[in-house]
Structure 1
Amino acid sequence: MTRQASKGSNASGGSKGSRGSSSHGLEGIVARSMSKISSSCCCFIALEQLRSPRRDPRRRNSQLLSSVIRHRMLSTRKSENQDIHSLLLCPDPSRRLERSYGSPKPLGHGGFGHVYRMRHRMSGDIRAIKVIKKPSDSSEELQSISNEVYALLQLDHPNIAKLFEYFEDRQAIYVVTELCTGGNIGELDAQVDDWDEIRLLFRDVVRAIAYCHSEGIAHRDLKFDNCLITDCSERRCGRMAKVIDFGLAGFAKGAEGGTMNEVVGTLYFLAPEVLKSQDPMNRYGLECDLWSLGVMLFVVLTNEHPFCSTAAGPADAYRRISNGALRVSCLRNCGALAIESEDLLRSLLVKEPLNRCTAAEALLHPWLQPAGESPHHGKTEPRTEKLDSLVERILSFSRFSRFEQAILTVAAHEARPRDVEELMEVYSILDVTQAGYISRDDFRRALKVSDVRMSKMETDAVLDSLDPDKDAKIQLTDFLAATLKPSHVKSEKVLEELFNFFDFHGTGLISHEDLKQVLGQELACHVAVQARADAQGVISKDNFKVFLLKAMDKLELQIQNEKSLAAMMVIK
């Protein structure tokens, strides 16, 4: 089986596999796995069709999923503190998409419908918008949609396409993510592309998987169309990979032996335990994603499927994936890079899931370490001279008001990678396992190795600022928010983005209710007074920007004063 045959439809927004069922036997499972249209998951329809008044209103499901998603997110949180995950819940999802986005252009479509390229009116940025039609009467399908948005709200990783916001009306949910325009990793060619770049891009995918698994989330539809490539000027190769499309995500936190039993995904990328899970006694866990990764890597290196020949049809593919031997000879005929990968592939393509390597273990494999890259991977303690000055910023951040922290968190979330390049470099060094987050213990060790002297009270304050949701993980956006210079917020572009975040309904004004939704009643009143709201509690854009500039000036002065005080204490 060649690479082209093994790939799904080439849609920028990702294409879906389908759900299987145990009631129709082997052929039915295979047919549904290969189908491009799912009978049990949501489908996309064209944007203009959603707005058509000719649709029968009785076919629309008016249940507001946003309230279900919000309750689900908040009920699993360990802290009331504010972080990017909670802030993304604040804008009213019922606000109109057209006020914020325009100029739709189809990006492509998979088995579930259409994804659009649209321009964000306020910033001018181009983003991807996935249109998920709400089913008429299926609670299972509604749960599937809820799962996808819930997963995206939880995830915060540089190798996962960023969720900006989402909208909801009676017909659909609209999920807005960053746009990746560099194709997908299935277009890599081991005969043409730089070997180190291939390894680097696959490592990006493994990092994303390791992070998802640390959150108890299995992607369950890893394939070429869902592993996209985007430009990254900060990198030597100029590109990085990002995982998209969590429509078939499963939640397996704390599972031993697995808790999932749905046959979902795309046949040629499915793990044996997924194919066999139509039996209620057979369940699977997070390990299924590692098998899919192995298939993708094998296909890129050899242009062949690891178990199926070119002529293999669905039924034969099912048998070979379940029981066939790894086609090692294909590797040995494809050059040194493929041969060197054999050990990694043998650890990924193990039919017994409990004997398969984990994503964290795969990250340690020598094959995934391109020349010139020297990740710590836990072998040495990280040291960075920049950490000392950053700790001072984090200490100051811990003393900022809820509003000031919210401003910096939103600014960090919206920041372009090139604007926070140095901060992301420090974050990467501190992320010793390269799994996409920093543990509290790793951060404490980094402070010790870097000779940063702090009292226990100060250390606790720093860690609480970096880990506002109390899950023992320092997430990327929370780190950027606590280390971002207030001066970053002063640019006109960032001021526009921040105003747009609080202007939930795109009216060009910020109401008291908008502020209250994010900050609570007391702080909303304080901000309204300081930002010179009118008699109805409404703040104009100009007044809000002036208020933000003054607030950032105050924060800069506060940081400078604390730095001077710390220097005086050292002298004494």
Structure 2
Amino acid sequence: MGCTNSQDKLVNGEQPSKKNTKDNSAVHIDTIEKFNVTSSSLVQEKYGKISKDYQLLNPPLGKGAFGEVRKCVHKATNLTRAVKIISKAQTPKAEQDRLKQEVEILKQLDHPNIIKIYEFYQDQKYFYIVTELCTGGELFDKIIEERSFDERKTAETMRQILQAVNYCHKNNIVHRDLKPENILYESNKPGALLKVVDFGTSLAYDPNVKMNQKLGTPYYIAPEVLSKKYDEKCDIWSCGVILYILLCGSPPFNGENDEQIMNRVKIGKFSFDSEDWAGISDGAKSLIAKMLEKDPTKRLSAQDVLNDPWLKQASGIDVVDKPTLKRALNNMQTFRAGKKLQEATWMYLVNYLASKEEKNELLKVFQSLDTNNDGKLQREELIQGYKKIFNHPNPQEEVDKILTVVDKNQSGEIDYSEWVAATINRENLLSKQRLELAFKMFDQDGSGTVTKDELKQMFQGMGNVDDKVWKQLLNEVDDNGDGQISYKEFKEMMLKLIDPSAAGSS
């Protein structure tokens, strides 16, 4: 996760607006029917020492002006994550506000190419943002190591970055500091996913209002940002610079110091004259020129870039075989959660305990259905997917049934986490080991039972929930009426997702 030194950035101007960020604390849940857990509502905010829940490891993975990033191990489950630690004493009020804004934005984002946030802690001295751990290093380091990428690898890299950017822009989020240092490889394995990180300068923006904060990093900053009047297309400029660097190994706007670099950015002229460009296709050069168009009104959108012929052809499209697609759609068709607590716990298991390998298999199917690359599945995209596989007389009716069950946040489309929750192999995720891990996370005091107060703590991100709803949730599972949930009751509740008649099984 990013911990860049802010001295590499230009930052001045207004404070970030919270106009478009969601505030779950304002949501009032007065009936159990309204208790619909989503990926964002699982992010917990805690006051107190992080050391109660996590062991922080040395040495730091990275350091910045106000803090550092470390590995940390969750004590109850032994899961390894990353934590960004920010010193309150060393951090100006404006940066602290920016950090809280970053947390709010990360909570909303649900995309496989964007870093996933788990928890946000603060004590008297520090803020802590706990996220998934990426072990493959920065794209920046890979560029230095390999000097430049071939066109296929470049296109595959850019497609992932642009899918994340397109998703953000469709949700009115602008990143504003895209650069290879803020793009991490999930692992060292071949074909590892890329993750966009460091949303400290991001903003939930109003599409009808130009932004005016001058911030970013000199090599990658768009000319209109320097003029303090810009929109989300500033991210496309930054992506164009990244694309240029990936193909030739050097930036399009260079100089001996920041001032020189930014003066060249303002002029906006670059060339493909060096010998490094001799073997690069016209299609790649054409796309760069369209992304580094100085006039943002003529510059491509993220959606346009993803539809570019060179990008689509050079990156190749992962072909999903019909049996894999059919299995995923069958799982979605048969997904039913009988109880609200069962449904909420299942979403928790998917978000916190499903392996990267399990999710990545489903990602390919998700992307094959997501034909407009917006990171969500619309009704029409699902209908087309069903038509490919099933000879159903009325696929519209079937898809509408699925949306009713799977679309937990009632957005009218299926988010990535909702897709994974509905299509993942239920038998594998509900293994004995994972059920025991999940119960440990719920049973926060280690008493061997889960109480109403522990449920409140686990799902605090749901907002203002009436006490009667918490009682109803507990009573759904509390078969012996002792006011708490035993491991046996918890396990039986979850195994009914595989076999609804599993009541009483041990």
Other-structure match for 2:67: 113
Other-structure match for 1:26: none
Q: 2:405 aligns with which of 438, 442, 465?
A: 465
Q: Distance in 1 between matches of 2:407 and 2:127?
A: 30
Judged with a 3 Å threshold, the aligned counterparts in structure 2 of structure 1 residues 165 and 69 are, in CA distance, closer, same or farther, namely farther
Judged with a 3 Å threshold, the aligned counterparts in structure 2 of structure 1 residues 137 and 221 are, in CA distance, closer, same or farther, namely closer
Judged with a 3 Å threshold, the aligned counterparts in structure 2 of structure 1 residues 286 and 110 are, in CA distance, closer, same or farther, namely same
Amino acid at match of 1:298: Y
Are 2:265 and 1:326 aligned? Answer: no
Shift of 1:374: 2.1
Pairing 1:477-492 to 2, within 5 Å after superposition:
477-492=417-432
Are 2:214 and 1:263 aligned? Answer: yes
What SS does the aligned partner of 1:269 have? coil
What SS does the aligned partner of 1:242 have? strand
Q: Distance in 2 between matches of 1:370 and 1:70?
A: 37
Other-structure match for 2:376: 437
Q: 2:242 aligns with which of 291, 296, 302?
A: 296
Q: Distance in 1 between matches of 2:117 and 2:106?
A: 6
Other-structure match for 1:97: 50
Shift of 1:176: 0.9
Are 2:218 and 1:218 aligned? Answer: no
Other-structure match for 1:316: 260
Q: 2:286 aligns with which of 332, 339, 343?
A: 343
Q: Distance in 1 between matches of 2:249 and 2:365?
A: 38
Are 2:467 and 1:523 aligned? Answer: no
Other-structure match for 1:243: 196
Other-structure match for 2:108: 154
Other-structure match for 2:185: 229
Higher mean displacement: 119-128 or 285-294: 119-128
Other-structure match for 2:81: 127
Higher mean displacement: 286-295 or 393-402: 393-402
RMSD: 3.5
Q: 2:351 aligns with which of 404, 409, 413?
A: 413
Other-structure match for 1:209: 165
Q: Is the 8 A contact 1:388 1:452 kept in 2?
A: no
Are 2:305 and 1:362 aligned? Answer: yes
Q: Distance in 2 between matches of 1:547 and 1:426?
A: 34
TM-score (norm 1): 0.75
Shift of 1:456: 6.0
Judged with a 3 Å threshold, the aligned counterparts in structure 2 of structure 1 residues 185 and 428 are, in CA distance, closer, same or farther, namely same
Q: 2:452 aligns with which of 475, 488, 512?
A: 512
Shift of 1:218: 0.6
Judged with a 3 Å threshold, the aligned counterparts in structure 2 of structure 1 residues 175 and 21 are, in CA distance, closer, same or farther, namely closer
Q: Distance in 1 between matches of 2:101 and 2:495?
A: 41
What SS does the aligned partner of 1:207 have? helix
Judged with a 3 Å threshold, the aligned counterparts in structure 2 of structure 1 residues 449 and 340 are, in CA distance, closer, same or farther, namely closer
Q: Distance in 1 between matches of 2:83 and 2:373?
A: 29
Other-structure match for 1:394: 332
Q: 1:198 aligns with which of 143, 154, 159?
A: 154
TM-score (norm 2): 0.84
What SS does the aligned partner of 1:164 have? strand
Higher mean displacement: 94-103 or 315-324: 94-103
Shift of 1:485: 3.5
Amino acid at match of 1:219: H
Q: Which has the higher contact order (CA 8 A, sep 6+)?
A: 2
Q: Distance in 1 between matches of 2:248 and 2:148?
A: 12
Are 2:500 and 1:558 aligned? Answer: yes
Q: Is the 8 A contact 1:205 1:241 kept in 2?
A: yes
Amino acid at match of 1:94: Y
Q: Is the 8 A contact 2:221 2:237 kept in 1?
A: yes
Q: Is the 8 A contact 1:394 1:465 kept in 2?
A: no
- For structure 1, which runs of at least 5 residues remain unmatched after alignment? 1-10, 24-39, 42-64, 278-282, 377-381, 561-572
Q: Distance in 1 between matches of 2:180 and 2:336?
A: 42
Deviations for 1:460-512, whole angstroms, at most 9, x for unmatched residues? 33113332223333111111112234323332442244224424567775332
Deviations for 1:92-132, whole angstroms, at most 9, x for unmatched residues? 51254112211422111123321111122233232110013
Judged with a 3 Å threshold, the aligned counterparts in structure 2 of structure 1 residues 369 and 504 are, in CA distance, closer, same or farther, namely farther
Q: Distance in 2 between matches of 1:142 and 1:304?
A: 34
Q: Is the 8 A contact 1:408 1:482 kept in 2?
A: no
What SS does the aligned partner of 2:57 have? strand
Q: Distance in 2 between matches of 1:370 and 1:431?
A: 17
What SS does the aligned partner of 1:145 have? helix
- For structure 2, which runs of at least 5 residues remain unmatched after alignment? 460-464
Q: Is the 8 A contact 1:396 1:558 kept in 2?
A: no
Q: Is the 8 A contact 2:379 2:399 kept in 1?
A: no
Q: Distance in 1 between matches of 2:266 and 2:233?
A: 15
How many positions carry a matched residue from both structures? Answer: 483
Are 2:120 and 1:166 aligned? Answer: yes
Higher mean displacement: 73-82 or 148-157: 73-82
Pairing 1:139-150 to 2, within 5 Å after superposition:
140-150=94-104
Shift of 1:135: 6.4
Amino acid at match of 1:406: A
Judged with a 3 Å threshold, the aligned counterparts in structure 2 of structure 1 residues 288 and 75 are, in CA distance, closer, same or farther, namely farther
Q: Distance in 2 between matches of 1:272 and 1:454?
A: 51
What SS does the aligned partner of 1:180 have? coil
Judged with a 3 Å threshold, the aligned counterparts in structure 2 of structure 1 residues 301 and 456 are, in CA distance, closer, same or farther, namely closer
Other-structure match for 1:72: 23
Q: Distance in 2 between matches of 1:102 and 1:338?
A: 50
Amino acid at match of 1:182: G
Q: Distance in 1 between matches of 2:91 and 2:152?
A: 49
Shift of 1:151: 0.9
Are 2:342 and 1:404 aligned? Answer: yes
Judged with a 3 Å threshold, the aligned counterparts in structure 2 of structure 1 residues 421 and 225 are, in CA distance, closer, same or farther, namely closer
Amino acid at match of 1:475: D
Q: Is the 8 A contact 1:166 1:175 kept in 2?
A: yes
Deviations for 1:208-238, whole angstroms, at most 9, x for unmatched residues? 11111111111111111101112275xxx43
What SS does the aligned partner of 2:39 have? helix
Other-structure match for 1:36: none
Shift of 1:155: 0.6
Identity of aligned residues (%): 27
Other-structure match for 2:295: 352
Shift of 1:149: 0.3
Q: Distance in 1 between matches of 2:289 and 2:447?
A: 57
Judged with a 3 Å threshold, the aligned counterparts in structure 2 of structure 1 residues 96 and 349 are, in CA distance, closer, same or farther, namely same
What SS does the aligned partner of 2:498 have? helix
